[in-house]
Chain A
Amino acid sequence: MAGDAVSHYDVAVIGAGPAGMAAAIEGSRAGLSVIVLDEQELPGGQIYRAVERAPRARLRILGDDYADGGALVSEFRATNATYVAGAMVWNVNPQLIIDYSQDGASREITATALVVASGAMERPTPVPGWTLPGVVTAGACQILLKAHGLVEDNLAFIGSGPLLWLVAAQMIAAGKRPVAIIETVPAARYAAALLKLPLNPTALGYLRKGAKLMRTVKRSKAPIYRDATEIVISGDQRASVVNFVSGGRGHQIEADLFALHQGVVPNQQITRLLRCEHRWDERQRCFVPVCDRFGETSVPNVYVAGDGAGIAGARAATLQGRIAALRIAEKAGRAVGPSTSLQASLCREASIRPFLETLYAPSAAVRSPAAETIVCRCEEVTAGCIRNAVDLGAPGANQVKSFLRSGMGPCQGRFCGLTVTEIIAERKGEAPSLVDYYRVRPPLKPLPLSELARFSIEPGTEDRVE
Chain B
Amino acid sequence: MKAGYDVADLIVVGGGIHGCSAALHAAMRGMSVIVIERDTVARHASGVNAGNVRRCGRDFAEMPISVHSMNIWRHMVDLVDDDCGFQQAPVIVMAESDSDLEVVRQRVADVRLNGYDHEVILDQSQLREYVPSAAPHCLGAFATLDDGHAQPYQTVLAFQRKAQALGVRFYEQTAINTVRRSGADWEVIGRDGVRFSGHYFLNCAGAWGGEFSRQLGEPVPIEPIAPMMMVTNRMPHFCDAVLSLVSRPLSLKQTSSGTVVIGGGRRGDLVPGTLSGEIRFTELQLAAETVLSVFPVMSAAKIVRAWTGIEGYLPDRLPIIGRSSTEENAFHAFGFSTHGFQLGPGVGDIMAELIATGSTNAPISPFDITRFNHDGAETRAKPANGRSW
Secondary structure dominating the interface of B: helix
Interface stretch (choices A53-61, A332-340, A450-458): A450-458
Query: Among B233, B278, B281, B299, which residue has its beta carbon within 8 angstroms of that of A446?
Result: B233
For A452, what are the chain B residues with a Cβ–Cβ distance below 8 Å? 281, 284-285, 288, 303
The segment out of A173-181, A242-250, A348-356, A392-400 that lies at the interface is A392-400
Q: A393-B161, A402-B153, A449-B298 are in contact. Are A443 and B289 (CB under 8 A)?
A: no
A448 interfacial by beta-carbon distance below 8 Å: yes
Asked if residues B292 and A453 are in contact (CB atoms below 8 Å), the reply is yes
* Interface residue from A393, A441, A449, A453 paired with B160 (Cβ < 8 Å): A393
B28: interface (CB < 8 Å)? no
Q: Which of A285-293, A313-321, A407-415 contacts B (4 or more CB under 8 A)?
A: A407-415
Q: Which of B262-294 contact A (CB under 8 A)?
A: 278-279, 281-282, 284-285, 288-289, 291-292
| Residues in B whose Cβ lies below 8 Å from that of A443 | 303-306
A447 and B302 contact, Cβ closer than 8 Å, known pairs A399-B153, A410-B233, A453-B292: yes
Residues A446 and B302 in contact in the complex (CB < 8 Å), given A93-B278, A441-B307, A452-B288 = yes
Residue of B nearest to A99 (CB): B281
Task: State which residues 220-251 of B face A: CB under 8 Å.
Answer: 231-233
- Residue numbers in A under 8 Å from B288 (CB-CB): 449-450, 452-453, 455
How near does chain B come to A253, taking the closest CB pair, in angstroms? 35
Q: Are A410 and B304 in contact (CB under 8 A)?
A: yes
**Is the pair B304, A91 in contact by a Cβ cutoff of 8 Å?**
no
Q: Is B140 an interface residue, CB under 8 A from the partner?
A: no
- Residue of A at shortest CB range from B173? A395
* CB pair A455 B281 closer than 8 Å: yes
CA distance in complex: A255, B298 (Å)? 41
On chain A, the residues within 8 Å of B306 by CB distance are: 441-443
B305 near A449: Cβ-Cβ < 8 Å: no
Which residue of the partner chain B has the closest CB to A455?
Answer: B285
Residues of A within 8 A of B152 (CB): 402
* A402 interface neighbour in B47, B282, B302, Cβ under 8 Å: B47
The yes or no answer to B48 lying at the interface (CB within 8 A) is yes
Interface residue count on the A side (C-beta < 8 Å): 31
A78 within 8 A of B: no
Q: Which parts of A384-435 form the interface with B (CB within 8 Å)?
A: 392-396, 399, 402-403, 405, 408-410, 412
| A1 close to B (CB within 8 Å) | yes
A449-B291, A452-B285 given; A396·B303 CB < 8 A: no
Quick check: is B172 within 8 A (CB to CB) of the other chain? yes
* Chain A residues whose C-beta falls within 8 Å of the C-beta of B329 in the assembled complex: none
Query: Is A403 within 8 A of B302, CB to CB?
Result: no
In the complex, how many angstroms separate the beta carbon of B37 from the nearest chain A beta carbon? Answer: 11
B301 & A399 in contact (Cβ 8 Å cutoff): no
Query: B304 to A453, Cβ gap below 8 A?
Result: no
A456 cross-chain contacts in B, Cβ below 8 A: 282, 285
- Complex Cα distance A394/B156, Å? 11
A114 and B305 CA atoms in complex are apart in Å by: 23
B87 within 8 A of A: no
Answer yes or no: B325 CB below 8 A from chain A CBs.
no
For residue A91, which residues in chain B have a CB less than 8 angstroms away from its CB? Answer: 279, 281
In the assembled complex, B32 has its CB within 8 A of some CB on chain A: no
The answer to whether B281 and A1 have CB atoms under 8 Å apart is no
Q: Are A392 and B161 in contact (CB under 8 A)?
A: yes
The minimal Cβ–Cβ distance linking B261 to chain A, given in whole angstroms, is: 11
Cβ-defined contact, B153 with A403, below 8 A? yes
In the bound assembly, the distance between CA atoms of A453 and B40 in angstroms comes to 35
B292 touches A449 (CB 8 A): yes
Q: Complex formed: what's the CA distance from A395 to B292 in Å?
A: 38
B302 touches A448 (CB 8 A): yes
**Does B168 count as interface, using CB distance less than 8 angstroms?**
no
Task: Decide: B172 and A395 in contact? CB cutoff 8 A.
Answer: yes
A441 to B152, CA, bound (A): 18
Determine the chain B residues whose CB is within 8 A of the CB of A450 once the complex forms: 288, 292, 299
- The answer to whether A403 touches B154 (Cβ under 8 A) is yes
Residues of chain B within 8 A (CB-CB) of A392 are 157, 161
Take A395-B172, A449-B298, A452-B284 as given contacts and tell me if A441 and B305 are in contact as well, using a CB distance cutoff of 8 Å: yes
For A393, list chain B residues within 8 Å (CB): 157, 160-161, 164
**When the two chains form their complex, are residues B282 and A457 in contact, meaning their CB atoms are under 8 A apart?**
yes
B42 at the interface (CB under 8 A from A): yes
Q: When chains A and B are docked, how far (Å) is the Cα of A396 from the Cα of B39?
A: 12
Give the residue name and chain of the B residue nearest to A400 (CB).
B153
Q: Please indicate which of the listed interface residues A1, A99, A453 has the most CB atoms of chain B within 10 Å of its own CB.
A: A453
**Cα distance, A447 to B304, chains bound together (Å):** 7
Please, which residue of chain A has its CB at the minimum distance from the CB of B164?
A393
A206 vs B81: C-alpha distance when bound (angstroms): 59
Report B285-337 residues with CB < 8 Å from chain A CB.
285, 288-289, 291-292, 298-299, 301-307
What is the distance, in angstroms, from B379's C-beta to the closest C-beta of chain A? 39
Nearest chain A residue, comparing its CB with the CB of B172 = A395
The answer to whether B40 and A395 have CB atoms under 8 Å apart is yes
Q: A395-B40, A403-B157, A442-B279 are known contacts. Are A412 and B305 too (CB-CB below 8 A)?
A: yes
The interface centre, meaning the residue of B47, B160, B282, B304 with most chain A CB atoms within 10 A of its CB, is B304
Q: Can you name the residue of chain B whose Cβ is closest to the Cβ of A378?
A: B304
List A contacts of B40 (CB < 8 A): 395-396, 399
Interface residues of A in 57-77 (CB under 8 A from B): none
Smallest beta-carbon distance B255→chain A, Å: 9
A412 and B304 CA atoms in complex are apart in Å by 8
Which residues of B are found within 8 Å of A442, using beta-carbon distances?
A: 279, 281, 305-306
Rounded to whole angstroms, the CA-CA distance of A402 and B155 in the bound complex is 11
In contact, B42 and A402 (Cβ under 8 angstroms): yes
Interchain CB contact under 8 A, A449 and B172:
no
Chain B residue with Cβ nearest A1: B282
When each residue 71-85 of chain B gets 1 if its CB lies under 8 Å from chain A and 0 otherwise, what string results?
000000000000000
Q: List residues of chain B with CB within 8 A of the CB of A453.
A: 285, 288-289, 291-292
Which residues does chain A contribute within 8 Å of B301, judged by CB atoms? Answer: 448-449
Chain A residues within an 8 Å CB radius of B282? 1, 455-457
Name the distance in Å between B164's Cβ and chain A's nearest Cβ.
8
Please measure, in the bound complex, the distance between the C-alpha atom of A408 and the C-alpha atom of B261, giving whole angstroms: 12
Shortest CB–CB separation between residue B163 and chain A, in angstroms? 11
Nearest-Cβ distance from residue A252 to partner chain B, whole angstroms:
36
Nearest opposing residue in chain A for B154, CB measure: A403
Complex: chain A residue closest to B156, CB-CB: A402
Ranked nearest first, the 7 interchain pairs of A and B with the lowest CB-CB distance are A402-B153, A446-B302, A453-B288, A452-B288, A449-B301, A441-B305, A453-B289
For the A-B complex with A450-B288, A455-B288 known, give 9 more contacts whose Cβ atoms are closer than 8 Å.
Answer: A91-B281, A402-B153, A403-B154, A412-B305, A442-B281, A443-B306, A447-B302, A453-B288, A453-B292
Instruction: Tell me the B residues contacting A by CB distance below 8 Å.
Output: 40, 42, 47-48, 152-154, 157, 160-161, 164, 172, 231-233, 257, 278-279, 281-282, 284-285, 288-289, 291-292, 298-299, 301-307
Q: List 26 A-B contacts (CB under 8 A).
A: A93-B278, A99-B281, A393-B160, A394-B157, A395-B40, A396-B40, A399-B42, A399-B153, A402-B153, A403-B154, A408-B231, A410-B302, A412-B304, A442-B281, A443-B304, A443-B306, A446-B303, A447-B303, A448-B301, A449-B232, A449-B301, A449-B303, A452-B285, A453-B289, A453-B291, A455-B281
